Amino acid sequence: MIYDAIVSRLHRLGAKPLGLWRFGAAAAIIAVSTGVAELLYRLLSTTRLSMVFLAGVLVCAVTLGSYPAYFAALLAFLIYNIYLVEPRFAFQMASPEDVLVLLVFLAVAVLTGGLAGRLKDEALRNMRRARATSALFEASKALSSTSDEDEIRQLIVKQMALAAKGSAMISHGARLWRYPEDGSPRDLPGALALSSQGWRVQVIAAEGEELGLAAWRSSAEDRPDEDGDRLINVLVDLGGAAIARARMAQTNADLAAASKTERLRTALLSSISHDLRTPLASILASASSLKAFGRQFSPEVSLDLIETIEEEAERLNRFVANLLSMTRLESGALQLNRQGFDMAEIVNRCATRLRRLGANIERVLPNSPCPLEGDPILLEQALDNVLDNAMRYAGQGRAIVVRLTDLGAAALLEVEDCGPGLEADEHGRIFDKFYRGRTAGASQGAGLGLSIARGLVEAMNGTIAAQPRSDNQQGLLVSMLFTRETALAA
Q: What is the set of domains in the chain, with CATH numbers?
A: 2-129 (no CATH), 334-489 (3.30.565.10)
User: With contact defined as beta carbons under 8 Å apart, do 136 and 234 qualify?
Assistant: yes
H-type alpha helices, 332-371? 343-355
Task: Check residue 6 and give its pLDDT.
Answer: 38
pLDDT computed for residue 284 by the predictor: 87
- Give the side-chain half-sphere CA count within 13 A for 223: 4
Report cis status (omega within 30 of 0) of the bond before 185. no
61, 114 contact by CB (below 8 A): yes
| Predicted TM-score of the model (pTM) | 0.45
Residues 166-214 pLDDT 10s: 788 888 877 888 787 765 555 555 555 555 467 778 888 877 777 888 8
Within 10 angstroms of residue 455's Cβ, the number of other Cβ atoms is: 20
Beta-bridged to residue 3, according to DSSP, are none
The span from the CA of 360 to the CA of 376, in Å, is: 23
- Residue 320 amino acid letter: V
- Identity (one letter) of the amino acid at 323? L
pLDDT of residue 120: 67
Of all helices (H) and strands (E), which one includes residue 412?
A: strand 410-416
All residue ranges of the chain with pLDDT < 50 are 1-18, 94, 196, 486-490
Q: Which of 116, 106, 20 is nearest to 61 (CA)?
A: 116
Please check whether residue 444 is in contact with residue 333, taking contact to mean a CB–CB distance below 8 angstroms: no
- The confidence score (pLDDT) of residue 108 equals 64
Query: H-helix or E-strand containing 214?
Result: strand 209-218
